[in-house]
């Protein structure tokens, strides 16, 4: 436990220290303590920081809502035994096998405006081609789709494990009483699986909040020419490794860390309330 605490406490503590300095240029360059100046500069930055916050929330919320709904639907379909279920489960889990960078590069080729398969399919259907990843308004929704494609299987696994652990008696009793399939799900199954559902939201939500590899692999530095997919992770990375502004970058990371801690606290409190 002491090792784990040290492993977490040291990088967080060092990042916190850097956020109060003007560290820049080089990690070995001398720096001065400037107090909360970096925090003031970042929190008043309406050009890059707050738009990045908005994109982070939009990306996380959009991906999480669809992944939870789709994951629950697929888990319910796989809950009962059926012929060929083993192969269906393997097929659903295949997106988890590839690394996020490989997935990003694959979908970058698929969504290529001129020769990509996505626009070729639209042409076959008589529909106009779309900019997909190259458009300012379509890049982030397209990457949300890519995230949904890769990480919905993770939600399916968690929810399916929760469904499998449930007793059949409540559902059978509701069925005998004449409840419909929707009523049995909404009033019986869903309340029983609520702790597992919140756990899935917690795990997937945190993971979606800190998504970086897919965004960087598809759009590169700054989240694109117009920062169209620049989330807080991409923004902090650019400050550190493109501009060498370590103090300002550390400030962004500390604020982001506090946001994640707040989300964890809210979801954990909701889970405890649901369990009671």
CATH number assigned to the domain comprising residue 121: 1.10.3720.10
Q: Residue range 18-27: average pLDDT?
A: 88
SS3 35: coil
Contacts of 164 (CB under 8 A, 6+ apart): 79
**Cα-to-chain-centroid distance, residue 257:** 15
> How far from 273 is each of 170, 195, 229, 267, CA to CA, in Å?
22, 10, 35, 10
Q: 36: how many CB neighbours lie within 10 A of its CB?
A: 11
Q: The tokens of 188 are what? A: 């019986």
Report the number of distinct structural domains present in the chain: 1
Q: Is residue 14 packed enough to be buried (19+ CB in 10 Å), middle (13-18) or exposed (0-12)?
A: exposed
Does residue 15 lie within any of the structural domains?
no
SS3 84: coil
User: Could you write out the DSSP letters of every residue in 87-142?
Assistant: HHHHHHHGGGTS-HHHHHHHHHHHT-TTT-HHHHHHHHTT-----GGGSTTTHHHH
Q: 192: how many CB neighbours lie within 10 A of its CB?
A: 16
With a pLDDT cut of 70, the percent of the chain lying above it is: 97
Whether pLDDT at 152 is above 70: yes
Between 130 and 267, whose confidence is greater? 130
Q: Residue range 114-140: average pLDDT?
A: 91
Does residue 17 lie within any of the structural domains?
no
Q: The tokens of 14 are what? A: 């060092």
Does residue 242 lie within any of the structural domains?
yes
Angle at 33 between CA 32 and CA 38, to 5 degrees: 105
Q: CB-hemisphere CA count at 13 Å for 273?
A: 7
- What are the pLDDT digits (tens) for 46-104? 999 999 999 999 999 999 999 999 999 999 998 888 888 788 888 888 888 888 899 99
Phi, psi of 33, rounded to the nearest 5 degrees = -75, 125
Q: Residue range 102-126: average pLDDT?
A: 91
The pLDDT assigned to 68 comes to: 96
Task: Output the CA torsion sign for 112, 54, 57, 254.
Answer: positive
Does residue 228 lie within any of the structural domains?
yes
The pLDDT assigned to 93 comes to: 85
Task: Write out the residue range of the structural domain in which residue 264 sits.
Answer: 38-275
Whether pLDDT at 274 is above 60: no
The pLDDT assigned to 264 comes to: 82
What's the CA gap between 53 and 55, in Å, rounded? 5
With a pLDDT cut of 90, the percent of the chain lying above it is: 59
Does residue 27 lie within any of the structural domains?
no
230 — alpha (psi -120 to 50), left (phi > 0) or beta? beta
CB 214 within 8 A of CB 104: yes
Does residue 265 lie within any of the structural domains?
yes
Q: What mean pLDDT is reported for the chain?
A: 90
Confidence of residue 120 (pLDDT cuts 50, 70, 90): very high
Whether pLDDT at 22 is above 60: yes
Q: Residue range 117-128: average pLDDT?
A: 92
Q: The tokens of 100 are what? A: 């996020």
- What are the pLDDT digits (tens) for 182-234? 999 999 999 999 989 989 998 999 899 989 999 999 998 899 889 999 999 99
Q: The tokens of 156 are what? A: 């399916």
SS3 21: strand
Q: Residue range 161-182: average pLDDT?
A: 88
Q: 177: how many CB neighbours lie within 10 A of its CB?
A: 9
The pLDDT assigned to 79 comes to: 86
Does residue 177 lie within any of the structural domains?
yes
Does residue 185 lie within any of the structural domains?
yes
Q: The tokens of 140 are what? A: 């982030």
Q: Residue range 236-246: average pLDDT?
A: 92
């Amino acid at each position: 436990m002491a090792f784990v605490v040290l492993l977490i406490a040291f990088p967080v503590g060092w990042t916190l220290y850097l956020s109060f300095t003007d560290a820049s240029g080089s990690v070995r360059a001398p720096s001065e303590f400037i107090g909360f100046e970096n925090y003031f500069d970042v929190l008043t930055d309406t050009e890059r920081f707050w738009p990045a916050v908005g994109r982070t929330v939009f990306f996380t919320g959009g991906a999480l809502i669809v992944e939870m709904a789709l994951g629950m639907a697929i888990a319910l379909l796989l809950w009962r035994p059926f012929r060929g279920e083993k192969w269906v489960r393997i097929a659903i889990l295949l997106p988890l096998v590839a690394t996020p960078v490989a997935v990003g590069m694959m979908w970058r080729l698929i969504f290529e405006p001129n020769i990509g398969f996505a626009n070729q399919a639209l042409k076959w259907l008589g529909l106009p081609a779309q900019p997909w990843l190259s458009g300012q308004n379509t890049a982030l929704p397209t990457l949300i789709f890519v995230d949904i494609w890769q990480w919905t299987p993770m939600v399916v696994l968690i929810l399916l494990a929760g469904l499998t652990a449930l007793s059949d008696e409540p559902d059978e009793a509701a069925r005998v009483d004449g409840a419909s399939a929707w009523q049995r799900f909404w009033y019986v199954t869903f309340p029983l699986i609520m702790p597992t559902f919140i756990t899935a939201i917690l795990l997937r939500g945190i993971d979606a909040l800190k998504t970086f590899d897919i965004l960087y692999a598809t759009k590169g530095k700054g989240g694109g020419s117009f920062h169209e997919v620049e989330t807080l992770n991409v923004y902090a990375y650019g400050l550190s490794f493109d501009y060498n502004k370590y103090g300002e970058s550390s400030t962004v990371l500390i604020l982001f860390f506090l946001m994640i801690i707040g989300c964890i606290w809210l979801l954990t409190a909701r889970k405890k309330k649901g369990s009671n």
